[in-house]
Amino acid sequence: MKPVISISDVSKVYNQGRDNRVYALDSINLEIHAGEFVSLLGPSGCGKSTLLRLIGDLITPSVGTVLVNDKSAAQARRDRDYGMVFQQATLYDWRTVSKNVQLPLEIMNYPRHKRQARVQDMLNLVQLESFGRHYPWQLSGGMQQRVAIARALSFEPSILLMDEPFGALDEMTRERMQMELLRIWEQTKNTVVFVTHSIPEAVFLSGRVAVMSARPGRIAGVIEIDLPRPRNFETREHPRFFEKITEVRECLRREEVTGSTT
Amino acid sequence: MSHVADRASPIEQELLPEVGAASRWGDRFRRYVPAIIVFILALVWWEAAVNVFHIEGFLLPKPSVIAATFVAELSVVFPAGLFTMREAVGGFVLGSLLGMVIALVTARWAGISEGMMPFAIAVNSTPIVALAPIMNQWFGITNPLGKMSIVAVIVFFPVMINTVKGLTQVDAGALELMRSYAATEFAVLFRVRIPNALPYVFSALKVASTLSVIGAIVSEYFGGSREALGVYISQQAALFHFAEAWAAIIIACLMGISFYAMLLLLERLIMPWHVSIRATEEE
């Protein structure tokens, strides 16, 4: 099967040709298939966000190619293949919850009746149907992030790019949001690329975890998470869950050790 | 899985701000009580001080005398106030519209902004009323257009500077999202930049409304139509008719305050979502 996202020999250098240049990513190769849930995991500074932004064409690679559905990442962005969610919900303060979810649809010139139907569906999906007329500041952090997810999915993009979406939430809300995200993902069947620095989060959510190491950012290993789906609170207590966490942690540490000797 | 990922919990719902409609007016009134008390005390103290210290009436008239003069002179002072307000509002509209248009152009092309902003900021901190005698020469001393142009120049810079700020200081994430929607520049302007600029624009307009009244009156001190409030104040003061001058100042206050209040109202209508309004926001 052809991959949906195919990253070949991608490097990213900031401030190229100057003394203060930074090798953010070095020769990254990664293929992601349709409907997969893949996490990019690593310490801060490993370039995981940079890699996500390269896939989404928010920045361009210095070397190498990113192909998405057989197109360049730039073309995929213009074709509206990406829904994005960041660490901050980045809701537009001047718009109610409904209007926030509706914004991409306005820009993409959806007819009015279709917009309203989509907004309603999305609010149902994230279970905020009674909050459409609230303003963002009236919602808790977790609820705001659910609105951001609804907005990212409103125009039915095939790929969902998430950059530490639950990073600003407390542990309890975070675990609830992870369940919520899996429930949504099982309904929408998107391909998800999820950036995080939390090992349990990556293991709990993903089908595969790409473990990254820093300076320069590289993929140290890709670990299959073969825990059964649907996953739920019992998954977190499963011995296999802890084995996988250990496996990821050892992969991270191996990198640290070899990294420090070179 | 709904046993964990359930709807917004009752606790979350309870935490949402909610204000009972019945108590709102009571609360609002109670908030003004201290201010009303201070105002009354100040008047009483002023009246008493003039009596006790035998301050001459032509130096500082008693509030009671001013009030009586205000009523007696209302038929002169009120039209004068309207005349001056026309200059103030005319200049305000002219200057702020121009400020916003230039800001739109400036914010779009960063080069223009970098070239112009230092000068705009420099001019913004110079006393523009100093131009009043020159404008009087240009437009003729009784022509309201002269005063309007002074007001327009005074108002222009704060409005422009703030609008540029509001249009350009947009959250980076908000712009990245628009990029991910492949939004046109036009869409970014109307759906992100302009709404983002509104709070900045309104805080500038509120400052500008006060500045415009000051600008109009002060520029009338350098000469103007006999119907104008500034001319009336300076003439009455020259004749030691201080109660009349104070009566005119009261009109100037009232009109400046109403101007400001109208902008507040407009702000509330246009951006009911804004932070500064949240404290009293209903729903």
Give the pairing type, strands A159-163 and A191-196.
parallel
Q: Is the pLDDT of residue B15 over 70?
A: no
DSSP 3-state assignment of B1?
Answer: coil
Instruction: Please answer whether residues A215 and A24 qualify as being in contact, where contact means their C-beta atoms are separated by less than 8 angstroms.
Output: no
B18 contact A CB<8A: no
Distance CA A34, CA A137 (A): 36
Please give, rounded to a whole number of angstroms, the shortest distance from the CA of A53 to a CA of chain B.
10
Read off the amino acid at residue A146. R
DSSP 3-state assignment of B144?
Answer: helix
Q: What is the pLDDT of residues B205-241, one digit of tens each?
A: 999 999 999 999 999 998 888 899 999 999 999 998 8
User: Nearest 5 degrees, angle CA B195-CA A112-CA B189?
Assistant: 25
Q: What is the pLDDT of residues B45-90, one digit of tens each?
A: 999 999 999 888 778 899 999 999 999 999 999 999 999 999 999 9
Q: Is the pLDDT of residue B9 over 50?
A: no
Report the chain A residue with the minimal C-alpha distance to residue B187.
Answer: A107
Using an 8 Å CB-CB cutoff, list chain B residues near A176. Answer: 4-5
Please give, rounded to a whole number of angstroms, the shortest distance from the CA of B192 to a CA of chain A.
8
Distance CA B232, CA A56 (A): 67
B16 contact A CB<8A: yes
Read off the amino acid at residue A119. V
The alpha carbon dihedral of B272, B277, B278, B279 has a sign of negative
Would you state the structure tokens that stand for residue B109, as one six-digit string? 């092309």
% helix, strand, coil for chain A, step of 5: 40, 25, 35
| 8 Å CB contact of A107 and B278 | no
What value does the mean pLDDT take over residues A159-170? Answer: 94
Per-residue model confidence (pLDDT) at position B2:
37
Per-residue model confidence (pLDDT) at position B3:
40
Only one residue has tokens 């080069």, namely: B111
% helix, strand, coil for chain B, step of 5: 80, 0, 20
Distance CA B235, CA B245 (A): 8
Using an 8 Å CB-CB cutoff, list chain A residues near B271. Answer: 94
Please give, rounded to a whole number of angstroms, the shortest distance from the CA of B176 to a CA of chain A.
7
Single out the residue of B228, B217, B180 nearest to residue A53, CA to CA: B180
Contacts of A234 (CB under 8 A, 6+ apart): none
Instruction: Please answer whether residues B259 and B89 qualify as being in contact, where contact means their C-beta atoms are separated by less than 8 angstroms.
Output: yes
Q: What is the pLDDT of residues A24-82, one digit of tens each?
A: 999 999 999 999 999 999 998 899 999 999 999 999 999 999 999 999 999 999 999 99
Per-residue model confidence (pLDDT) at position B275:
63
Residue A261: pLDDT band by 50, 70, 90 thresholds? very low
DSSP calls for B97-108: HHHHHHHHHHHH
What value does the mean pLDDT take over residues A195-212? Answer: 96
Instruction: Please answer whether residues A29 and A220 qualify as being in contact, where contact means their C-beta atoms are separated by less than 8 angstroms.
Output: no
Single out the residue of A187, A188, A229 nearest to residue A207, CA to CA: A229
Read off the amino acid at residue B108. R
- Considering CB atoms only, which of B7, B15, B181 is closest to A107? B181
The sheet carrying A71-72 orders its strands as A22-32, A5-14, A63-68, A71-72
| 8 Å CB contact of B177 and A90 | yes
Q: Where are the alpha helices (DSSP H) in chain A?
A: 48-55, 73-78, 97-107, 112-125, 141-153, 171-188, 199-205, 239-261
B19 contact A CB<8A: no
Per-residue model confidence (pLDDT) at position A48:
94
Cα dihedral B271, B272, B277, B280, rounded to 10, equals 160
The alpha carbon dihedral of B189, B193, B199, B204 has a sign of negative
- Considering CB atoms only, which of A78, A90, A143 is closest to B174? A90
B206 contact A CB<8A: no
- Considering CB atoms only, which of A58, A130, A135 is closest to B176? A58
Per-residue model confidence (pLDDT) at position B23:
63
| 8 Å CB contact of B273 and A130 | no
- Is the backbone of residue A193 left (phi > 0), alpha (psi -120 to 50) or beta? beta
Q: What is the pLDDT of residues B245-260, one digit of tens each?
A: 999 999 999 999 999 9
Contacts of B252 (CB under 8 A, 6+ apart): B81, B84, B213, B217, B229, B233
Contacts of A206 (CB under 8 A, 6+ apart): A37, A38, A39, A194, A225
Residue A224, φ and ψ in degrees, nearest 5: -75, 130
Mean pLDDT, all residues of chain A? 93
DSSP 3-state assignment of B77?
Answer: helix
Q: What is the pLDDT of residues B104-136, one digit of tens each?
A: 998 888 778 788 888 888 888 888 888 888 888
Using an 8 Å CB-CB cutoff, list chain B residues near A83. Answer: 180
B174 contact A CB<8A: yes
Q: What is the pLDDT of residues B163-218, one digit of tens each?
A: 999 999 999 999 999 999 999 999 999 999 999 999 999 999 999 999 999 999 99
